[in-house]
Amino acid sequence: ETGVTQTPRHLVMGMTNKKSLKCEQHLGHNAMYWYKQSAKKPLELMFVYNFKEQTENNSVPSRFSPECPNSSHLFLHLHTLQPEDSALYLCASSHSGTSGRIYEQYFGPGTRLTVT
């Protein structure tokens, strides 16, 4: 059973809506991640947080706004999305790898987002 949970599992929203994706980890990790998974495209890293501080923003449009209130929770706030933003959004957590050591990233099951 994964220690990373994501809610909701499925979300359909219009282009003018505002919604949020939630991720929670119970593994004692201090790094959390958002990824975007689209068909036939590489799995795309969006944001990285280490100890609640954003350490990576992979040129993500501002209509995606992450929030990390503590090391166990990560949100992705969505507003005025486009149909091409429809994808599976995966959250992951790990111990921080900025020291150069390898730590496995543990993934949640994802939120399937459809923008209409």
Partner 1 sequence: GEDVEQSLFLSVREGDSSVINCTYTDSSSTYLYWYKQEPGAGLQLLTYIFSNMDMKQDQRLTVLLNKKDKHLSLRIADTQTGDSAIYFCAESSSYNTDKLIFGTGTRLQVFP
Residues found near partner 1 in the complex (CB under 8 A) = 2, 4, 31, 33, 35, 40-45, 48, 50, 55-56, 90, 92, 94, 96-98, 100-110
Q: Where are the alpha helices (DSSP H) in 1-116?
A: none
Q: How far is the CB of 31 from partner 1 (least distance, A)?
A: 6
Output the CA–CA distances (angstroms, integers) from residue 14 to 2, 10, 32, 56, in the order listed: 30, 14, 27, 28
Q: How far is the CB of 79 from partner 1 (least distance, A)?
A: 25
Q: How far is the CB of 46 from partner 1 (least distance, A)?
A: 12
DSSP string, 23-39: EEE-S--SEEEEEEE-T
Q: Closer CB to partner 1, residue 15 or residue 43?
A: 43
Q: Closer CB to partner 1, residue 14 or residue 109?
A: 109
Residue carrying the six token digits 């995606």: 64
